[in-house]
A and B are shown apart, each in its own frame.
Chain A
Amino acid sequence: DAKTTQPPSMDCAEGRAANLPCNHSTISGNEYVYWYRQIHSQGPQYIIHGLKNNETNEMASLIITEDRKSSTLILPHATLRDTAVYYCIVRVDEADKLIFGTGTRLQVFP
């Protein structure tokens, strides 16, 4: 079973920030939080990951709460091409398998 819970769907206006929440209340101290997205049945695409500090890359920012029980993926200026299913995953290390839940379907509208 997935160790994370996410809302099934969200909407966001184009150009606005999309904030996607994820709960992982049973996360262990050595587990990372990963985010992937899947655009319309294409292969999932890695976005970002973190352990306890906030992380930012060219695609998104990841905010992890101090108790690490939840996190938020932020797409700062959502575009129509960001419409996808977003998966939040916890994982020990690179050799650990990815367990995909059902994710959040983000719809970006004009």
Chain B
Amino acid sequence: EAQVTQNPRYLITVTGKKLTVTCSQNMNHEYMSWYRQDPGLGLRQIYYSMNVEVTDKGDVPEGYKVSRKEKRNFPLILESPSPNQTSLYFCASNPIWSAEQFFGPGTRLTVL
């Protein structure tokens, strides 16, 4: 089944403890991105990647890192999480030639 998977789906952590949210897609898509969703603010793009080893900042990149060593994986790294990064996170992918972006199921992160 074609899909975007994220792990973990739920995470509660403490300030300053490094964490990684994984994202993987099995559709051979070139384009991948991360969004965060907060009440009243809609979805905002954090980082995106046009292809392997090509990443760029979105609208709210502060406090996040990403890497794209393989086409299928696009992990989101929080080196030192803070409470203002408590949010619902979505990974998405699409092939370069298509308008349809596929979203993962989301990761609900709470930073205490």
Contacts and interface: CB of A to CB of B under 8 A. Distances in A.
Interface in A7-40: 32, 34, 36
Contacts of A56: none
- Category for how many chain B residues contact A: 20 to 34
B31 interface: yes
A91 B98 CA distance: 13
Given A41-B88, A42-B105, A46-B101, A97 B96 contact: no
Interface of chain A: mostly helix, strand, loop or mixed: loop
B43 A100 contact: yes
B74 to A, nearest CB: 14
Contacts of B103: 43-45
Interface string B55-99: 000110000000000000000000000000000101010111111
Given A34-B99, A49-B99, 8 more contacts: A42-B106, A43-B103, A44-B101, A44-B103, A45-B103, A94-B31, A95-B31, A97-B45
27 contacts: A2-B42, A32-B99, A34-B99, A36-B101, A41-B106, A42-B105, A42-B106, A43-B92, A43-B102, A43-B103, A43-B104, A44-B43, A44-B101, A46-B99, A46-B100, A87-B42, A94-B94, A94-B98, A94-B99, A95-B96, A97-B33, A97-B48, A98-B101, A99-B45, A100-B35, A100-B42, A101-B42
Interface of A: 2, 32, 34, 36, 41-46, 49, 87, 91, 94-95, 97-103
The 5 closest A-B pairs by CB, nearest first: A43-B103, A100-B43, A100-B42, A46-B100, A97-B45
